[in-house]
Structures are given as C-alpha cells and as structure tokens.
Structure 1
C-alpha cells in the first residue's frame, strides 16, 4: 500500500479513535454527573463534589450542572467555588432567576455574603430579561415558571421532613396545589396547545411538562397533552426528553408497559429500586437514543441502582413470562369463582392487574363483569369498587364499548354510582 493510502487510512483510524474516545469520555462524564445528581438531591455535598470535579475534568459543565455544582459548594460553605459556578451557570444560559432567589441550597450565600449575592441575583435577573425579549409569550412563561417553582418547593419540603403528621399535611397541600395547577394547565393547553420553546423558552416548557406530569388525577388530560406534543415532534419546538417522560407516564397510568424506560419502581422507604416494565426492553436504548436520551445504564445512576440492558432472548422471555403469569392468575381466579371463593378471585385478579402490560382490555372487561356478578350476590363494597376500577381503566384507554356496557345485566346496580355516570355521560 502506498504512503498516500497509509496516510489516508491512518487519518481515518485516528479520527475513528478520536470519536470512540470522545464517546467514552461523554459516557464517563454522564455517569459521574448522574451519580452526583443523586447526591445533590440528597444534599450529600461531601460525596457529590469530588464526582462533579472529576466530571468537569472530562467536559465543561452546562448551565444546569454548573448550577448544581454551585449548590453543592454552597452547602459545603465554599463561597469562592459556589459563586464561581453560579457565574458559569449564568454565562452558560441559566435563565430562572426566581428559582435562584429561593433555592434553599444557597441559604449560606444569602446569609453570609449578601452583597455578592445581590450582585449575582441582579446578573441573573438581567440575563432573564434579555432571554425573555427573544420569546413570543414571556408573560405565559412567568406564569408557568411560578407554578413549577411552587410545585417543586412544596415537594422539597415534603422530602425534608420525617414527621408523620407534617407529612400528611404536606401531602394534602401537594394534592390541593396539583388540582389548582391542573385547572390552569387545562386552560393553557386549550388556548395554546402545547406551548412552544420559541414562545415560553425551554425552562417554561419544562415547567409546563412538570405540571402535566404530576396531573395523574386526570389521565385523560395527560393524554390530551401528549396529543398536542405529538404535533410538535417534527419541529425544534419540543423537548423530546419531556415527551418521553410523559409518554411513559401515560402508558404506566393505563397499565401498559413503558417504551423509553423513564419510570421507576419505588420501595416503601422511598428509594428507587428498578425500572417499571419496558416493552421489548432490549431495544429501549435504541429508542432513547433517537430522542437524545442517555442509555438506561447511565440513567439508572440518577436513582442509585445499577442496570444492565437485557439481551433479545432475556427481554422476550420476560415479556412472555408476564403474559403467562397474567393468564395463570386469571385462570385461577375463574376457578375460584366457580367454587364461590370470592376473596381468592379478588386476590388473583388484583395480582394480575399489577403486572404492567399484563391484562388486555378484553380481560379487564371480563374481570369487571365477574366482579359485578359477585357484587350482585354479596353486596360487598370491594367487589363493586374493583369492578368499576377495571371499567374505568378501559374507559381511560378508550376501549369501553358503551353498547356492551349498558346491555350487561352484571352492572345494573352501578347505575347510580358517580364513577359509572362519569363513564356514560362523557
């Protein structure tokens, strides 16, 4: 081979090696950032800071990670580094001045260095004003960002307390706020569709997504919001990470398996343990990559657990096992119905319904009918309730046939129930 070709192929090899190395560095950086992000939420600055510093040796921080680093240094009472990274965050495009003003991670800086804090706050406000001039709907952005801040603030209070009485009080406040935000979000969606990045900025669209994501009390609204997001998928007006999160949220709320692996299982201690069921899990990283999302192995580190993507065979086996386990539980339930062991019917169907993506809409309707018959025989509340649960799920899925429903005598005792009326009248 001539020197010319050696040089040519050598250059290609060097470029290939460079991109491989760069890719590996990016993954190493993201892994460190993910681990640091979890520690950031836990306010564990002693362990977070070394990981952030190591990550920043591989790659300069973006606005968000610089902001997180500033918070960690503030908790560590390292004034110089905290202000350094706040300036980096602002120079890199951090735009939420109001969030900065109330963030409890910076209480130390506010108290000990009021003049420097005033300077950084004024800089943040100026940056935000400049940013708002580029947006088409800056006032809507302010409204949505205020809603997002309130949402996060009260949830932050909740995770900071262990007092049972206070926890219950805060949870009620969260429920009240979520309902209030839901009503406003509905009007925004009705008027604007899904707000565009050019209208309210990336931070505004993120906060709007946050409100919708927490609107689990109205899954039909979440579906409507997702439909509006779909209209923007081919544009640069939508944050695809937000889309993936809401898509999976709706899937799980409808008892389907998720697609992008954004939703996790939580233990009773409030710790994430694993991902909720993912359809064709071996292909999840490919789907995530199409939206610019990190591999699940890296994403899992944000929640503090380790993960390995399954092989085709392993994923197929898991999907098959879920289907078989669901069917076995249903068949057992039907046997117990014949012997009038109704509690066991309830237990088996309840377990089957907890397998994400397990029960089909036809199986849901069949279960609802069976429990309707049991309720007619026993008048026990749990059977009426679970029957309506299965019917409601089909209704939310859009798979409820009103003609079949109204002609079925198993449901005649439900006609005065509000949940029944909601399904029939909407």
Structure 2
C-alpha cells in the first residue's frame, strides 16, 4: 500500500464509523468512545507515517490524500499535543503552497476553540445556552472575512449557523456545555 493509499484508507474508516453512529443518532450525544478510538488510532498511525515519510503534502501524495491527512489531524481532538505539534509545520507548508491554507485555518481555530480562546478565522461553531449553533467568539470580528479570504475561505454573512428550527439541538444546552468543559480539562486542552 502506498503512503497515499494508507492515508485514504484511514479516512474511509473514519467516515464509515461516523456514518454508522450518525444513522443511529449516537454521534450527536457527546464524543462517542468508538469514534474517539478511531480518531486516536488514525492519528497515531499518521504520526508514524509522518516520522517515516515526511508530511503528506500535495506534491508527495496528491491533494486527496493530503486533505485526508489534514482531516485526520483535525479529528484527533482528544490528543491536544498531537494537534498543537502540527500547527507550526503546517503553517510553513501552507505558505509554501504544499497544503491547503484552509485546513491550516481550521487547525488554528480548532486549537483555540478547545483551549477556550477566540478564533481567528471563525471556522468552529458550538451550541449556545439557547441551543442555537453559532460560530464561537472571534478576534477582530470586523476584519474576519478578509482573514478568511487570505486562507481561501468564503465570507461569513452571520455567525449563526443553525437557528432553533434547524438540525439536531442538544436537549439541555447547559448540561452539554458543562460536559464539554469537563472534557476539555480531562483531555488537557484547558488547565484551569
């Protein structure tokens, strides 16, 4: 199996498990242990592959496998050290045009989101106290769309993603938020 093929295989497994859990509704009630297991196993394997072969850039493995690798990194949410360790190298690779800039924006924001800091590009959303899905706090909201454009992201017209009459909403938003904060401490995203 080539480097690219192995990365794509890992991502297909992620998608298959996600699809099953979504079809039963289990995906929408906290971080499902089965999904977490797949995410961690994939991230560990990707780390081994990166150490052996270098980062799977577009010139090395093609755009599809590169994007799959970036998605594996973004899904490794219960392994903060791994995600944080990828940011500097990926920022440099994006500047060199070897990985899509948009995924670097996703990574930077995801790290900040889990750490409880304001996002730079507004790529992460969460349920508010009223059960409405909205982009969480962003730095310098006035210039958000220009920063998004620099990273190849489309403009945001509104920070509200899903009004109350939309898709799944947590039955108890306050309870869900409390569980989320506990999870960020348990996994090491937040210290206090």
CA 228–251 in structure 1, closer or farther in 2 if over 3 Å, else same: same
Gap runs ≥5 in structure 2: 164-176
SS of structure 2 residue aligned to 1:274: strand
Q: Which has the larger radius of gyration?
A: 1
Question: Given that residues 39 and 76 in structure 2 are in contact (C-alpha distance below 8 angstroms), is that contact kept between their aligned partners in structure 1?
Answer: yes
Q: TM-score, normalised by structure 1?
A: 0.36
Structure-to-structure mapping, 1:2-401, within 5 angstroms? 139-162=2-25, 171-266=32-127, 273-297=133-157, 303-304=161-162, 393=190
CA 392–234 in structure 1, closer or farther in 2 if over 3 Å, else same: closer
Question: Given that residues 189 and 225 in structure 1 are in contact (C-alpha distance below 8 angstroms), is that contact kept between their aligned partners in structure 2?
Answer: no
Q: Which residue of 2 aligns with 1:359?
A: none
Deviation at 1:392, TM superposition (A): 7.0
Distance 1:237 1:392 in 2: 28
Distance 1:284 1:149 in 2: 33
Deviation at 1:294, TM superposition (A): 0.3
Distance 1:209 1:188 in 2: 13
Deviation digits for residues 122-144 of structure 1 (CA, Å, limit 9, x no counterpart): xxxxxxxxxxxxxxxx8111000
Q: What is the root-mean-square deviation in Å for CA atoms of aligned residues?
A: 3.4
Deviation at 1:189, TM superposition (A): 2.7
Distance 1:213 1:188 in 2: 16
Deviation digits for residues 22-59 of structure 1 (CA, Å, limit 9, x no counterpart): xxxxxxxxxxxxxxxxxxxxxxxxxxxxxxxxxxxxxx
> Of the two structures, which has the highest relative contact order with CA contacts closer than 8 Å and spacing of 6 or more?
2
Higher helix share: 1
Distance 1:394 1:267 in 2: 22
Distance 2:99 2:10 in 1: 19
Deviation at 1:239, TM superposition (A): 0.4
Question: Given that residues 257 and 277 in structure 1 are in contact (C-alpha distance below 8 angstroms), is that contact kept between their aligned partners in structure 2?
Answer: yes
Deviation digits for residues 211-237 of structure 1 (CA, Å, limit 9, x no counterpart): 111111111110111122022132221
CA 255–146 in structure 1, closer or farther in 2 if over 3 Å, else same: same
